[in-house]
Every structure is written in structure tokens, then in C-alpha cells.
Chains A and B, each alone.
Chain A
């Protein structure tokens, strides 16, 4: 059971989860670009090379597909590799490895080989970064059966979810919001605790409207709901997602606003909206509204603030559903 706790930001919380899991299990290894000597471009793996040595914290050549492919081989052999990809825009060259192999090894071999692998990827906008450093294309991975997709929204749940992801027997895409990395601090216990994958978190209860968000958008949602009797759901795991928690809330409120940073078309909000329409239509009092990024190429920093869902847009959507 957890004993001491400290106020940590998300970078520190993830670092602590990595450290504790590596102490617990010798099969856990980290690989990626700059993860060793440099402690990662966001310093998430800082200090781990010194603690665990270069056999377990592996600075690889610059090769995203190779990193993921090598991690797949390690996982199949019996290790629990955690691959770090520096930015979500850089994972695109490794999608072949994830889609063609990581996601289907268990199935293709009827369970003889498995792929217990975690791919940690910083994602999202808000840190004024160059091209391809602000992507939030999580829906790509939600369309790959065989892969799980996890997006923590706070230091506390980042640690608990990462521990669960490392121990999960299947490949997990673990998305870390760069905007949140150092934005908030909260009490994070030392020692082992897990947050189960596939379960959402009710951040606050409410009666009039259900707000569904994840990652960095959750915080914008929490700010925007002030003055509304809103129930806020932090989805935390996108695949498999907690349909039950959503239905329960929709039955209570009858109104839904979904918020995500990714472009609207085929964003994960579409899946949630369709699921509610299929299974909880009769409880709805108003159309479901998605507040999302626009269907544009993710802009560079000068236009970034226009792109991101704002508190204003979220409030407008809530007012809209309340009219019905």
C-alpha cells in the first residue's frame, strides 16, 4: 500500500512509476532516442540510466520504426519494453510496426507469442512547438484492434495508469500531454498503486449535462463547467473505453458534450457519440455536441490558440444542449 506522498508534476509522476516498476521487475527496460544520458527530451526518464544502467535504459539510434520493431521482438522474447517516441508526429513512421505486428501477434499465433509493450508518446498542442510536435491523432490507434490506448490527465492517474500499462499483457499506447507535463502538481503516493485500464473516472458529479474529455482537454472542461450542474468524465482509457460509465451518466443527464483536441472528423468523439446514439438514444434530451480541433493540418504556434477548443467554445456547446 502507498505510504508517503509528495506533490509531483506529471513528468515526475511518470518518472516515479518507471523507477518503481524497474525496481520491481528486472524485465522492464526502456528504449528510445535520448532516453539515457539526456533523460529524454522532456526529462521523463531522467536519472534512470544512473540507477539501472545502459542494458536497461537504452539510447537507440534515431529510428522510430526500428525502436518499435525492436521493442516488439523484446516483448515477444519475454521482456517488458517501454519504448519512448519523442513526439506524436514521429510515431507515423512506426505505425506499420504497430498495426502490422504489435497489434496482431497474439491473434496470429493464437496466444503462443504476445506483445506486452508500452509505447509512451508525448502528444498535443500548447507548448508552441515546431511542425509535427503538437499532434493529437490518438484515434489512429483506436482503430487498431489488439492495441490499447491510454491518456492520463493528471500526475496521480498518470502513475497509476502507467503501472497498469506496464503490467498489461498487451501492447499499450500511452499518450502524455506535453501541455500537462509541468502544468499541475498533485499529491502522488510513493509505492505501488494501479488504476485499472478501461475504467473512466467521474471527476465531478452533476445532473444537467455530461462532459466527456481526456488528457489536457479535461482541465479546460473543468474550467468551462463552472456555473453548470455538469458531470465531468475523464475517460482515461480510450481503448477499451468505459461505455458503462458513460451510459450511467447519460441516463442521468440526457445531455452530452464531448471535448477533444484532435480534428473532429473521425476523432474519438465520433465513436463515443455513435455509441450513445446506438445504445442510449432514448435517454437523450438534446443532440450530442462535439467540441473538437478543426479539420485542418495542426497549425504552427502562431495559429495554435485558434485551433484548440477554448473554454468559450465548450461553454457555448453546453448552453446549446441546455436549450432543449
Chain B
């Protein structure tokens, strides 16, 4: 039983809650009488990404004075995944949002939640590789957001020149280089387990080498016929273990962060950093002078003939299918602008491209050396998509498993077998055959 006084409070509380709900619903409404529309763009909230999003919005609003785009930030990583899924499921999603393409995009249940976009003017300009990772059997759901990027080893070219080193083609050459680098007093390999996701690159960046040896690997992996515990995929784990055992890591690897890693690379205290080429944006933000020293190489395979670069597709730009009326038109106009040719300049100016664009934007002639290195792998035909674009399976614990390998807690074979077990959850959640 509720005493009389608190009953009154209870009533007041209900009234307050109702008022708050009204106010909230009023916020989400757009489409005023004078023809102006307000929409929200939800994007990751790190510094360089926010700068990019603001530049895009400014350019878009200059061309579309009737439309106001509000920027809303979200965390990256798995926390951001949760936020996106929850807001989609509750119908509270912003009118436009950017999010991963590939296996994470599939987990959004696009057919049920997103607006189909194949009739947009830019749809035909997208590369096939990108189209396939923002599509389901029923249609195309994403515009493109930025350039593709590579995963492998970003290294300090100035130190390579200083020591007269050659870009290694095989793993043994790479370790020989490391020996010389260590003798010269630099840290040969940068590792940053303060941000656990950065530990995965020895394995994820090695996928192009697996693909070069066995192009059907991803399909058979999805069918539960191939495993990380067996070669050729085991090589990624094996190399990671070897790198740890060689003692070539920077001393503070257990607690250093991604940003620390960029600083070590830019300041030249460390030489090789297995990471995504998107680190170039962060280096341009924090150490603009070092951009010209940054170079890229694929993670070397045991056999040089297989060494190839692993390529990630850019994020997609999506519209939830709950958006209607004037907001839908405005959201479509925004996606058209960002994916179309008009935004090319904005992208190139706001963030360094880290690989080729997927929507027909041309790379400028004076791209930094790192991007030229990535491009040269494309020119030579030595690239393959990352596994997450070929298979819907990615185990959630890979980053912790690779931290174990890189900290000497577990050996490569055991860690790879653990990862094979870890992906089972994902496969079953997706209801795949054969698991």
C-alpha cells in the first residue's frame, strides 16, 4: 500500500514522466511549416572523426540551406555496437548513421531495419567489393563513408633509410631486419595492449597471405571445415608468438595505448607497428611532421610469393527504415552528398585517405608515401579483403586471445584452438549450417 503523501508524489512522478516523454518526442520531430528539416547524423566521437563529420555537414548545409544536420557522437568498439543495435531495435535511431560494413553490418538485420538504397544515383559508382559488404540478398543498404584502408605493418621509413634496410618479403627477412633495428637501439616491434583491439593485427592482417595460399579458405571456414588451429591460418598466431619470444616489443607494451603506439612510431622510438593504416589520421592530428616518414608493408608470409596486403572496406552510411516523410528525403540527400562525387574534396581535406576510395573519388596525386605503398599492392594485384568481409564469423574474444599470445600467457597452437571455439558462439547466433 502506498501512503497518501507518496501517492500524490507518485502521481506527480507519472505526470513528470509523461511531460518528459512529450518533450522528447517533440525533439525528434522535424519538418517545420517553412519547409526546413532537421535530421541527426550519428557518428563515432573520436577527435579526427568528429572533425570529418563536421566538415561534411558544413559542406552539405551550404548546398542545402533548408536542411539542418545535427551531429551526435557514439563510442567505438563493442560499446558502439550495442548502442546501434539497441537504438535500432527501439526505433530511436538517428536519421543517418555510419557503421561497419561486412560481418558487423550483417548483424544489424538490415532487411528488417534499414532503408534499401539501390536506386540512388551513386549506387553504380561503388566498387563491387564495397557493394557486396553493404548488401544482403535483398538489396543494397549502405552509402560509403571514406576510403578503404589496409591492415599490416606501418613502419618508420626514416629509420629504414638510416639503417639501409630493405622492405622484407618473407617473415625471416622481417625478423632479420628486427635484429638490425634492435642492434641500432630502437624498439623493433610496437605493441599496445592498453587498447586490446590493436593486438589482433598479426592475425587479422595475415589473412591476405592465407587467401593467397588458399582462396577458398574463407568459404570453408564459414562452413566449419577449416580452422585457425591448422595452417595456413595458424601462421598469424605463430608469428605473433615468435615476435613476443624474440623480445623485440617496446618495454611498456602491456599498458601502452593506440595513441602511444602512434607517438612511438612518429617519434621514431619504435619502428614496426602492426596496425591499420587509419593510424595515419591520428598521426596527422598529433604529429603532422611525421606523416611523410610513415610507410606501409603487408605482414610478410613465410614464403615471399604469398605476401599480400589485407584490405578493409570503409564504413557504410545507413538510414533506418523507420525514418519517413521530409526527414527521409533529407536523410537521403545527405547520404547522396557524402557518398557522391561532391564530398570527395571534403574527405581528402579533412582526413588523409588511407587507401583507394570505393565510390569513384580519385586519390590526389600527392598522397603521403604510406598511401602510395598501399596503392602499389593494389597495382601489383597483391591484395585480399579482410576475413570479416568474406565470412560473417568473427569471434568476440580474439583481441583477448591475441593479448595472451603476445604476453606469453599461451602458445600459438592453444590460442588458435581457443579462438576456433570462440567463433562457435557467433556462428550459432547467426544460425549458420554445420555448427
A, B in one complex: no
Q: Which B residues form the contact surface with A (CB < 8 A)?
A: none
Q: Which A residues form the contact surface with B (CB < 8 A)?
A: none
